[in-house]
Amino acid sequence: MSSENLEGKRWWIAVAAIVMQLCLGTVYAWSVFKKPLMATHGWGETETQITFMICIGVIGLAAAFGGTLVDKRGPRFVATLGGLLFGAGTIIAGLADRLSSIWLLYLGFGLIGGLGNGFGYVTPIATLIRWFPDKRGLVTGLAVMGFGAGAFFMGKIAPGMVISMGVANTFYVWGIIFLIAVTASAQLYRNPPKGWLPAGFSPSPSGGVSTADSFAFERAVRTPQWWMLWGMLFLNVSAGIGLISQLSPLAQDVIRNANPGIAPEALAVTGGTILAVASIFNGLGRLFWAWTSDAIGRRNVFIIMFVTQTILYILLPKIGSQFAFTVIACYLLACYGGGFATMPAFAADSFGPTYIGKVYGFMLTAWGAAGIAGPLVFARMKGIALYVAAGLLLAGFILAFAYRRPQAKTER
């Protein structure tokens, strides 16, 4: 295939990646289904929420294993498997509602859907890194922004579907959409020919580790740099996901203090609106920070994000203005998303693109660990949680400031 055809093909792969991530990101709209399921079947809050906890936990593990499969079996196989499992898990969730079986819901949406989501999430990232050595930040930012935007679209569309056709039928419809859209997108995936580079692009020595000098996972994980990147991702996500878990209540406290006579219904609606607006910036921040990292470097982006977030988390408890609180929350969630989007390119720059599926896939275990640690801190340490988050981010700044790329074989 000619260089011109390959140039066009890589952009079609980028489009396919965005479509896939939009579908996979709908998992974050779980709350749309939670309350109707509780009301219909009499399931408790914790009992129902376990479904989402299983799903997120499995996504992290599946991404690690899926990254290994991408390196061994290729992206098309893993992405197709992810689409089949994610679609099937969503359909099984509809059957669980129909049969009133919480255990079938755990199996479908939690285990099977989580496996498919994790396989699907890591595949386009690993693939795009190989196709876009000249624009790693931009394209991974686009793809991961799709994951952030998926919940927004599901949150807008699914509630009306639940009201008009019920939870089970809504799951069935979306499951079929996922089966078609994700598996069809997967058919465009392939790795670039060995040694291929975009026209006019020649990697600079400071631009990252080359394909030939790439670190295998076993070698990468023995370097302190791999663990430093793992720690930076864990710390950034812990602070951000902890804030997300309590953002509406925190916003309501600010609004209540500024307007003591506000009705509870209006308070809840306004708090939810602030959460929705900030969530949009979660998606936009993924694109902005990843694109910026192409210009100023991944390490510099993390340094800026960690420093500014540390300051704002310290200031947040003192904010009494609804507008100021909303602006700060939007920025903090933009940094939360930006960490997800910038880290794949950071890992590829540090360890090379050849084994990035496994190298970055296992790094995503930091996401799973942060998904437990962050909300736990904000739930158990409510009075000082924002200051604890600031401390975590300060530790992240120290790691980012101290970070130096590991030396490739040819540099020794």
- Give per-residue pLDDT as tens, 123-135: 988 888 888 888 8
Among candidate residues 186, 201, 235, the one where a domain is terminated: 186
200 occurs within a structural domain: no
> CA-CA distance, 409 to 412, in Å (whole number)?
6
Q: Kindly indicate the confidence band of residue 157, based on its pLDDT and cuts at 50, 70 and 90.
A: confident
Q: Kindly indicate the confidence band of residue 300, based on its pLDDT and cuts at 50, 70 and 90.
A: very high
* Pair (234, 376) in one structural domain: yes
Q: Which pLDDT score is estimated for 255?
A: 82
Query: Of the given ranges (107-116, 150-159, 229-238), which has the lowest mean pLDDT?
Result: 150-159
**Which of 13-27, 190-204, 252-266 has the highest average model confidence (pLDDT)?**
13-27
Examine the pLDDT at 315 and tell me if it is beyond 90: yes
Domain count of the chain? Answer: 2
154 occurs within a structural domain: yes
289 occurs within a structural domain: yes
Among candidate residues 170, 186, 202, the one where a domain is terminated: 186
* Pair (176, 305) in one structural domain: no
Is residue 390 within 8 Å of residue 310, measured between CB atoms?
yes
* Pair (113, 224) in one structural domain: no
Structure tokens at 186: 């997967």
Examine the pLDDT at 242 and tell me if it is beyond 70: yes
* Pair (219, 269) in one structural domain: yes
Q: What is the pLDDT averaged over residues 135-163?
A: 81
**Closest to 350 in 3D by CA, of 232, 209, 216:** 209
Q: Which pLDDT score is estimated for 272?
A: 67
Among candidate residues 134, 166, 186, the one where a domain is terminated: 186
> CA-CA distance, 303 to 82, in Å (whole number)?
34
Q: What is the pLDDT averaged over residues 182-186?
A: 95
* Pair (223, 172) in one structural domain: no
Q: Which pLDDT score is estimated for 246?
A: 75
166 occurs within a structural domain: yes
- Is 15 or 136 the better-scoring residue by pLDDT? 15
* Pair (161, 265) in one structural domain: no
* Pair (173, 220) in one structural domain: no
Q: Kindly indicate the confidence band of residue 386, based on its pLDDT and cuts at 50, 70 and 90.
A: very high
> CA-CA distance, 146 to 102, in Å (whole number)?
30
* Pair (16, 74) in one structural domain: yes
Q: Kindly indicate the confidence band of residue 412, based on its pLDDT and cuts at 50, 70 and 90.
A: very low
Measure CA 97 to chain center. 27
203 occurs within a structural domain: no
48 occurs within a structural domain: yes
* Pair (328, 182) in one structural domain: no
* Pair (348, 257) in one structural domain: yes
206 occurs within a structural domain: no
Amino acid identity of residue 11, one-letter, is W
Q: What is the CATH number of the domain that holds 62?
A: 1.20.1250.20
Q: Which pLDDT score is estimated for 209?
A: 63
* Pair (34, 119) in one structural domain: yes
Q: Kindly indicate the confidence band of residue 4, based on its pLDDT and cuts at 50, 70 and 90.
A: low
Q: Is 403 helix (H, G, I), strand (E, B) or coil?
A: coil
Is residue 254 within 8 Å of residue 322, measured between CB atoms?
yes
Structure tokens at 156: 């807008």
Q: Kindly indicate the confidence band of residue 208, based on its pLDDT and cuts at 50, 70 and 90.
A: low
Domain extent, residue 243, equals 214-404
318 occurs within a structural domain: yes
pLDDT digits (tens, 9 = 90+) for 272-282: 677 777 878 88
* Pair (147, 233) in one structural domain: no
